[in-house]
Amino acid sequence: MEIANLDIKFLSGVGNRKAMVLEEEIGVKTYEDMLYHIPYRYVDRSKIYRIAELSERLPYVQIKARIRNLKTVGNGKSLRMTAIAFDESGELELVWFKGLKYIPSQIATDKEYLIFGQPSLFSHRLNIVHPEMDDFEKSSQLLVGLQSLYPTTEKMKKAFLSSKTLHKIVETIFSTLTGKIPETLPAWFIQEHKLMYLHDALYNVHFPGSDELLRTAMYRLKFEELFYIQLNILKMKYRRKTFFKGCLFEKVGSYFNDFYTHHLPFPLTNAQKRVIKELRQDCGTGRQMNRLLQGDVGSGKTLVSLMAMLLALDNGYQACMMAPTEILANQHFTTITELLKGLNVNVALLTGSTKKKERTPIHEQLNDGSLQIIIGTHALLEDVVTFKNIGLVVVDEQHRFGVAQRAKMWQKNEQTPPHILVMTATPIPRTLAMTLYGDLDVSVIDELPPGRKPITTLHSYEREREKVFKFIEQELQKGRQAYIVFPLISESEKVDYQNLEVGCDRVRQYFTPRGFETAMVHGKMKAIDKDNEMQRFVKNEAQILVSTTVIEVGVNVPNACIMLIESSDRFGLSQLHQLRGRVGRGADQSFCILMTSFKVSAESRQRIDIMTGTNDGFEIAEADLKLRGPGDMEGTQQSGLVCNLKVANLAKDGLILNEASKTAAAILQNDPELNNEKNTTFAEQLKRFFKTKLNWRFIS
């Protein structure tokens, strides 16, 4: 029987209750799940320290010592048990906060113990909290070198599922299994790439015989995981390019040429020209385009996407642009309408706020083809929205949409799927792009329009607020405008809104007497009120806009040259970079001020240093990946892929990913459908690993 089908609850020492906690807390339901619950750290159990050698800087230690003075101290919530461990070199305090009634029956003063744990300093005295203790005479099997430590949770500890227990469960699995764990890679492939066999790799990850064996075992498991992901993605990409017909954009006509010749707001950068050429080539093949367009805030992605839409119009197709928020959809509608002034193009806006009497003609015109470009939000996904012949779908800030939502847009043309252009201003690290978007072709706009100056980013403490306000005042006196942004975290929404209102009052108290108006925008406002406040800022009737992160995307006010981010230590790097991109859109020098209290964590300090050190979005994205890990990167949770990596880490395993990708590509080049007998194992494993609906992976 496959280890994937063996329920952990039937394993000796587990049972129903522990099995339920294992599934709830760490997703372990089967033997296979447990074997892929990889240790997060390994400690050398062959070394025994003398107590005099210990310090709080050592991560984990073990000592050989006797025990005296076992007693209960404190009361109520501070009740604990303490003991003194001693050897010939000194003594150490041991502390327990849980299981107090069992400890006296487990510890004897006439025995020598092997004590394992993490030393810490409390009141200038070293101690170990909740040490592992084993009778030294019976613990020779522990002195074998590297021992694995497993990630656990509070709920697991309460169910007596400590790291030591998990270690024992894995040990029981291996002793229970008859024969070796079946291979998931063909023998020829293992030999060609000098990989460890799966059974040996899993065993050595949990019970490493040496550092070298552990490295070899981890490489095998990481390589296999990333290899199958790449094989799946690249196979999908091949099938899309081979079998999926697309709308044929065979000519460049009057819409495109007239706009390019007479309506461009500024000369295209070389990067924009390159991307437009890539789009034209894709749409002219008769195959469906699925392309990701990356470009920093302000790099001109909207202009490029508009020219792609005009290409659709030239070939008799309709085009649409979908944005995640009404603010952004309105912004795109305003920008595109302005750019198309003088051209005979029918453009409309459809959002949740569009009134019924306006919706009806929009639906009718989309249906009969007279409405050529529609810009909107999730409202475009409704079944009532049908097109005569949609040829191009542009999805902006695409990580805000789930895969199913994008798939729905893809199905709006019954005859031929429309071309898909997904855009993001959140630069995606190369390793993440290869894994999340490896089935898409990628275009990058890597230069800003001429005349743009790099934004100067500064860090200030709250105690310097008056100095910061004075600086903002000086810029406002030059006729410029400023954003002041407050954090809005869902767990503390009520407090955050209070902080926003208090902060807005403070801004008004300082700036109103000096002749400057302040507008305020946040997510709880009615759409009409929000729009009115935004328009006051856009028209320069208000010189300061105080807001939550609703202005993270979609606000384009070239006259705004200052971004003050309050409590900036509460924002992620990606969000800080997005907010900073709201300024620097005009010819004036722009500034981003990151304000924090004096006390900030080491990680927050790191983020601030990165932001003040570079404007490069890709550099920031790479740093963000390293700081937060792939599972937390914005938009990746929806993929159901990155956060499910069991062994590999995209922040650290880029070289293995590159090797796995090259290997997968080489196999598919010779056998794109994996029909050859030697590749049967690959095909079987792909069916097992990736059971999601095929269409969804083609959407992006």
Question: Worst-scoring range by mean pLDDT, 310-314, 420-424, 629-633?
Answer: 629-633
25 near 156, Cβ under 8 Å?
Answer: yes
Query: pLDDT category, 339, cuts 50, 70, 90?
Result: very high
Confidence (pLDDT) at 439: 67
Would you call 82 helix, strand, or coil by DSSP? strand
Mean pLDDT computed over 400-417? 65
**Tell me, what's the pLDDT at 628?**
65
Distance of CA 291 to the CA centre of its chain: 20
pLDDT band at 245 (very low <50, low <70, confident <90, very high): confident
Q: Which helix (H) or strand (E) holds 128?
A: strand 125-129
List 127's β-bridge partners, or say none.
93, 120
pLDDT of residue 554: 53
Q: Which of 174-188, 191-205, 408-422, 537-551 has the lowest mean pLDDT?
A: 408-422
CB 328 within 8 A of CB 400: no
Q: What is the DSSP letter of 451?
A: T
Taking the C-alpha atoms of residue 125 and residue 94, their distance in angstroms, rounded to an integer, is 11
Residue 392 scores a pLDDT above 50:
yes
Listed range (222-236, 335-349, 399-413) with the worst mean pLDDT: 399-413
How many CB atoms within 10 Å of residue 468?
Answer: 18
Interatomic CA distance for residues 224 and 174, integer angstroms: 21
Q: pLDDT grade, residue 641 (50/70/90)? A: very low
Q: Is the pTM of this model over 0.85?
A: no
Helix (H) or strand (E) holding 572: none
- Whether residue 385 is predicted with pLDDT greater than 60 in this model: the reply is yes
506-545 pLDDT tens trace = 999 999 999 999 999 887 888 788 888 888 998 999 999 9
pLDDT at 448: 75
Half-sphere exposure of 152 (CA within 13 A, CB side): 19
Report DSSP letters for 386-413, one per residue: --S-EEEEEETTGGGS-HHHHHHHHTT-
- More confident of the two residues 165 and 244: 165
Dist. CA 537–CA 557, nearest whole Å: 8
Give CA–CA dist 36/21, Å, rounded. 17
> Which pLDDT tens digit goes with each residue over 573-591?
888 888 888 888 777 899 9
Mean pLDDT, residues 234-247 taken together: 82
Q: What are phi and psi of 45, to 5 degrees?
A: -90, 5
> What is the residue-averaged pLDDT of the chain?
84
441 confidence band (pLDDT: 50, 70, 90)? confident
Ranges of H-type helices in 401-492: 403-410, 430-436, 465-477
Instruction: Indicate the pairing of strand 80-87 with strand 90-96.
Output: antiparallel
d(C-alpha 217, C-alpha 204), whole Å: 6
The pLDDT of residue 695 is 41
pLDDT at 184: 93
